[in-house]
Structure 1
Amino acid sequence: MIYSVDVRIVAPVNDTEVTDRVEDAIRNVFPDAEPVHEEGRLVAEAHALDAFSDVLHEQEILDTARRVFLRNSTADGFEFALKKQAAFEGIVNFAVGEPDELGEITVEVRVREPDVESFIDYVAPETDEGTPVDPMREYGDRYDPESGEY
C-alpha cells in the first residue's frame, strides 16, 4: 500500500524524569522518530507507522488498537495516547481514563493518502478471532487493493 502520513509525537518531560529515558520510550515504539527537546517536552515527527504496526501484531492487540483509532478518528486522521512507562519497555499500552501522573505520549496521525479508514486497516487490520483478515483471501478478485474497495 502506498500511503502518505504525518505523525506527530509529543511527550512531556517532568522535572523528576531523565530526558533520555523519555526519548527512549518514544524510540522504542516509534524507531523512525527523531525526538527534539522543547521546553518541558519532547516532540518527534515520523512518516510511517510500520514498526508500530509490527508491535501491535506481536502483542496481538489489533482489535484494541482499531477501536482506539476509530473512536478517535476524524476525516483528516486519528490520535491516541500511550503510557510512557510501558513504551519505555517497548510495549504499547493505550492510555485511557485517568491521565498518568507522568503524562502520556500523545500521537497525532494526519493521513493524506489513502483515506483514514484504509490507513487504519493497514496499521491495525480487522481480525477474525485475533488473526488478521486478508481481504484478498476473503474477497478474491473482487477486492481492489488500490481503492480498498470490494
Structure 2
Amino acid sequence: MIHRVDVRVVAPVRDTEVTDRVADAIRNLFPTAEIREEPGQLVGETHSMERFAERLHDQEILDTARKRFFAEATEDGFGFALKKQAALEGVINFAVGNPDELGDIEVQVTVHDPDVETFVDHVAPPTEDGRPIRPDE
C-alpha cells in the first residue's frame, strides 16, 4: 500500500546548542528530512516515517507510540513531541508534560492517503503479547 504523508519536524535551537547537533537529532529519526534554518529553530520536511517506524520496532514501544499518536489524532493527521537529547542518540523518547529545558522536537504528520488510522497501523501496528500484528494478516 502506498502512503502519502507530509511530516513537519520543528526543533528549537537554543543559544547554548550547536545547530548541526540539533539537525543530527532530526536526521537520526527522519533521515530523508530536508532541513532549513529559521530564527531560533530548525524545520524539517519529509514524506517518510520509515526510519522512525524501524526505531519503534527496535525499541519495542509500539503500544506507547500508538497511544501518543491517537491522543493527538484528528481526521487529517496527528502530532507528538520527542525529547531532543534522546533523538540525538537515535532513540525515540516521547515528551509528555513540561518541555525539556532545551525544548522538545515537535512532529506534525498530515496523512493524505489512505487515512490516519491505517497509517498509524503501518508505522506502529497493534500488538498482541508484545508482538506486532497486522490487521490484514
TM-score by length of 1: 0.89
Q: Deviations over 1:114-138 (max 9, x none)?
A: 110110000000000110013333x
Q: After the TM superposition, which residues 5-16 of structure 1 pair with which residues of structure 2 at under 5 Å, given as runs?
A: 5-16=5-16
**Any unmatched runs of 5+ in structure 1?**
138-150
Q: Does structure 1 retain, via aligned residues, the 8 Å contact 2:121–2:134?
A: no
Q: CA separation in 2, counterparts of 1:109 and 1:121?
A: 14
Is residue 2:39 matched to residue 1:39?
yes
> Where do 5+ consecutive residues of structure 2 fail to align?
none
Aligned partner letter, 1:99: P
* Distance in 1 between residues matched to 2:136 and 2:6, nearest whole Å: 27
Equivalent pair of 2:9/2:105 in contact (CA under 8 Å): yes
For residue 92 of structure 2, give the secondary structure of its aligned residue in structure 1.
coil
Matches within 5 A, 1:53-68: 53-68=53-68
State the secondary structure of the residue aligned to 1:35. strand
* 1:71-150 equivalences in 2 (<5 Å): 71-137=71-137
Distance 2:2 2:123 in 1: 12
The SS at the match of 1:93 is coil
Query: How large is the RMSD of aligned CA atoms in angstroms?
Result: 0.7
Structure 2 SS opposite 1:92: coil
CA distance in 1, matches of 2:22, 2:96: 19
- Whole-angstrom distance in 2 between the partners of 1:41 and 1:96: 20
Which structure: larger Rg? 1
Provide runs of 4+ in structure 1 moved above 4 Å.
Answer: none
Do 2:125 and 2:132's aligned partners in 1 also have CA atoms closer than 8 Å? yes
Alpha-carbon displacement from aligned partner over 1:16-67 (angstroms, at most 9, x marks no partner): 0000000000001111112111111000100011111000000000000000
TM-score when scaled to structure 2? 0.98
Query: Which position in structure 1 is the counterpart of 2:23?
Result: 23
